[in-house]
Structures are given as structure tokens and as C-alpha cells.
Amino acid sequence: EAGVTQFPSHSVIEKGQTVTLRCDPISGHDNLYWYRRVMGKEIKFLLHFVKESKQDESGMPNNRFLAERTGGTYSTLKVQPAELEDSGVYFCASSQKPGRPYEQYFGPGTRLTVT
């Protein structure tokens, strides 16, 4: 069974540019999460999809961040325009159906550097 995949693995952009990160969850997993780890700090929740619906986007920093999940499959996270403080590693995770705590499986992350 393929794991969670993310693309790209690294992205270096200039302040003011736009970047789109993609996540493909494990097939059949309804729950999809985005997290971010800024250098040296904890992994922080950004948002949660159940299928194509946003269940919780309380962790999204501001309106420069836009997440979508087309048809309940893959998800994209767009940052527009990027700022220096957006640098970090963005992780995607997926888990099975809602109803009880299931383990979340993480992707390898996208390292975003904004210069």
C-alpha cells in the first residue's frame, strides 16, 4: 500500500511569489490533515478535511493560505503571496474514517524556503 506522498519535496521562492503544495493521501482515507513545522518548533495543525469538506481550518495562519481537496482525493495548499515567516516544513497526514481516533500517517513533507 502506497503511503502519503507530497510534492514538491523542496521549494525555494522569493517573498511575494506563489507556491502550491500537493498531497496525495493513502487511498481510501477520508481524513486529510495539513501541519507545519517551523524550524526548531513543534508541529502545528493547519487544517483538516473529511473527504472534500473542510472540518476545521482553525490553524490556518491567515488568508494568504488556501487549501482545497478536489473530489475528496488529493489536496493542495496554496500560499499567495508568500512571506518570510511562511518558511518551514509542511506535512500532510491522512487517516481512516471519522468516529474514533485513528493513527495519522504522515507524508515526508515539503520544505518551503521563502527568501
Partner 1 sequence: QQPVQSPQAVILREGEDAVINCSSSKALYSVHWYRQKHGEAPVFLMILLKGGEQKGHEKISASFNEKKQQSSLYLTASQLSYSGTYFCGTGNPFGNEKLTFGTGTRLTIIP
Task: List interacting residues with partner 1 (CB under 8 A).
Answer: 3-4, 31, 33, 35, 41-45, 48, 50, 55-56, 58-59, 91, 95, 97-109
Distances (CA, A) of 57 to 39, 45, 54, 80, 112: 22, 9, 7, 17, 20
CB distance 113 to 11 below 8 Å: yes
**Rounded least distance, CB 56 to partner 1, Å:** 6
The smaller minimum CB distance to partner 1, of residues 15 and 97, is found at: 97
Radius of gyration of the chain (CA): 13
The smaller minimum CB distance to partner 1, of residues 81 and 111, is found at: 111
* DSSP count for the chain of H helices, then E strands: 0, 11
The smaller minimum CB distance to partner 1, of residues 17 and 44, is found at: 44
**Rounded least distance, CB 11 to partner 1, Å:** 15
**Rounded least distance, CB 22 to partner 1, Å:** 15
